[in-house]
Amino acid sequence: MDPRGKIIATFLFIFVIFLANNWQSYLIVTFFTLLSIYFTKLKVKMFWDGVKPLLGLILFTSLLQLFFAPSGKIYWQWWIFSISTMGTVNAIYIFLRFSLIILISTVMTLTTMPLEIAAAFEWIMSPLKIFKVPVAEISLIMSIALRFVPTLFDQTVKIMNAQRARGADFSSGNLIQRIKAIVPLLVPLFINSLEVAIDLATAMESRGYRSSEGRTRYRTLAWSKYDLYNLGFFMTLTILLMVFRRY
Amino acid sequence: MKKYFFKLNLSQLVFLGLVIAIKIILGRFSVGPELVKVGLGFIGSVALGYFFGPIWGAVGGGVSDLVSSALFGNQGGFFIGFTLTAMLGPMIYGFFFYEQPRKIWRIVVATVTVTFLVNILLNTIWLHLLYKVNFQVAFNARILKNLIVPWLQMIIIYFVLDGLSRVKTRMNKLEKSRM
């Protein structure tokens, strides 16, 4: 499937989920999300890994909603805590909304290569050219950043080990000492990337790079029939939500 | 305002890409005791603002959000609001640090502005919009953490700016030799 279609769908999903405001509409959104998870044919564990780091935040937010925003009939009260009908329902809705948005985002990132996502972002940004935003430059920056995250990550680990070998300590001492220990890590990292930048720029210029304008593309994106299915799927969801929501 | 709008040459453009990569990597690290863990991503924001000024810094912040969500998936769902806040941080740091001497008051004011405007106010508004969380409740929950973290950030920025100024001298020297 075309990454542009997927990103736009993910993006719109967040707006569409606002339409849900009663249990029927939440049921529909949940069903559609589970369906799209099923269609990815990926293991459930991978999605669980996507939700896991945020589970604490999700639970925390829902619990806050549960205890501190009373409305409707009150079941139980103690000091400033109270559990009410509407509070409980809202907490469940927030929990669902959170999990569904994260799940759909996970579907997108798990099924799309980072390079494709970057290309799609470039396409989505292209209308900004009207406002003289240097979209071509930005997409060059984006692809360089994407390409160099793994390389610089290796560098960082290497620099850390090199400093450790000479007695640097990143994980003990008081707070100020630890903070000071970051600088000998950062400076080589920046100097290193500065040198990489100069070298890369020289190499690009010697291979005939003049500016980001007036160039052809080697990697192109193409719409396929699956994007139509995706769109149809999405339209159905939107219409169903419009029908079932409480106005 | 004029001095912030400039064209980057190719090596600066590439360096911007690399600083974004550094910001993303630093964002995966954190220091401090378990209770008040401080992510290091803000160092990347400071570097973006310091090297490239508010405008290109904001561009860098936006790109770093997009790239990190492409690489690692977006924590908390894909939402343009978080991209905006990612742009605002480097922008504010850029206004305070770009081609300015390192002064304690600049560090304090910049950090407090970023903390209040970005971390507390805007991010709470996004959470409120996204998840219909009760604004007051989420706001109070956020303030607690953001009462401690900025002080650590200020100390870190103080030392980091010193390091970055050394990088900047090197940058100007290399730029000249390349001309």
Residue B179 has pLDDT above 60, yes or no: no
Q: ipTM, 2 decimals?
A: 0.87
Residue A32's pLDDT band (boundaries 50, 70, 90)?
confident
Q: Is A219 helix (H, G, I), strand (E, B) or coil?
A: coil
Whether residue A213 lies inside any domain: the answer is no
| Strand B38-39, strand B30-31: pairing | antiparallel
CA distances from A60 to A68, A131, B64, B133 (A): 12, 41, 27, 11
- The Cα-based distances of B168 to A127, A193, B43, B89, B178 in angstroms read 34, 12, 15, 20, 15
Token code pair at residue A175: 């707070």
Run of H or E residues at A181:
none
Q: Could you tell me if B78 and A14 are in contact, meaning their C-beta atoms sit under 8 angstroms apart?
A: yes
Q: Which of B38, B71, B7, B62 is nearest to B157 (CA)?
A: B38
CB contact under 8 A, B73 and A200: no
Rg for chain A (alpha carbons), in Å? 24
> Is A119 a member of any domain?
no
Name the architecture of domain B10-27+40-177.
Orthogonal Bundle (1.10)
In a domain, A124, yes or no: no
Distance CA B36, CA B144 (A): 11
- How far, in whole angstroms, is CA A66 from its chain's centroid? 27
Chain A interface disruption, residue of B26, B36, B67, B111, most A CBs within 10 A: B67
Distance, CA of A65 to CA of A62 (rounded, Å): 5
Does A76 fall in a domain? yes
Most confident of A201-215, A224-238, B48-62: B48-62
Structural domain count, chain A: 2
Is the minimum CB–CB distance between A175 and chain B shorter than 8 Å?
Answer: yes
Answer yes or no: is A127 within a domain. no
Q: Tell whether A188 and A148 lie within a shared domain.
A: yes
**CB burial string A73-89: b at 16+ within 10 A, e below:** eeeeeeeeebebeebeb
Claim to verify: residue A186 and residue A227 sit in the same structural domain: no
Residue A216: inside a domain:
no
Q: What is the mean pLDDT of residues A181-187?
A: 84
Co-location of A203 and A226 in the same domain: no
Same domain, A79 and A27: yes
Domain residues for A53?
3-112+222-244
Q: Does A152 contact B21 at a Cβ distance shorter than 8 Å?
A: yes
Do A245 and A28 touch, CB atoms closer than 8 A? no
Q: What is the pLDDT of residue A151?
A: 92
Rounded distance between C-alpha atoms, residue A204 and residue A208, angstroms: 7
Out of A19-28, B33-42, B155-164, the most confident range is: B155-164
Does some domain include residue A108?
yes
Confidence of residue A72 (pLDDT cuts 50, 70, 90): low
CA of B53 to nearest chain A CA: how many angstroms apart? 16
Among B residues 122-141, those touching chain A with beta carbons less than 8 Å apart: 127, 130-134, 137-138, 141
Interface size A-B, in CB pairs within 8 Å, comes to 196
A141 and A83 co-located in one domain = no
Is A203 touching B (CB cutoff 8 A)? no
Average pLDDT of the segment spanning A75-79: 64
| Structural tokens at position A209 | 């790079």
DSSP class per residue in A81-143? EEEEHHHHHHHHHHHHHHHHHHHHHHHHHHHS-HHHHHHHHHHHHGGGGGGT--HHHHHHHHH
Q: Which residues of B touch A151 (CB under 8 A)?
A: 21
Put simply, whether B148 touches A (Cβ < 8 Å) is no
Residue-level pLDDT at B74: 64
Mean of pLDDT values over A100-104: 84
Residues in chain B: 179
Does residue B77 contact residue B86 with C-beta atoms inside 8 Å?
no
Say yes or no: A103 and A70 in one domain.
yes
Query: Which token pair is A46?
Result: 């991978």
Segments in chain A forming alpha helices (H): 3-16, 23-40, 44-68, 85-111, 114-125, 135-165, 175-180, 183-206, 225-244
Question: Does one domain contain both A145 and A198?
Answer: yes
Mean predicted confidence (pLDDT) in A47-56: 77
Token look-up 């994106």 returns A221
Residues A81, A19 within the same domain: yes
- Give residue B35's pLDDT band: very low, low, confident or very high (50, 70, 90): low
- Tell me whether residue A156 is in a domain: yes
Would you place residue A68 in the very low, low, confident or very high pLDDT band (cuts 50, 70, 90)? low
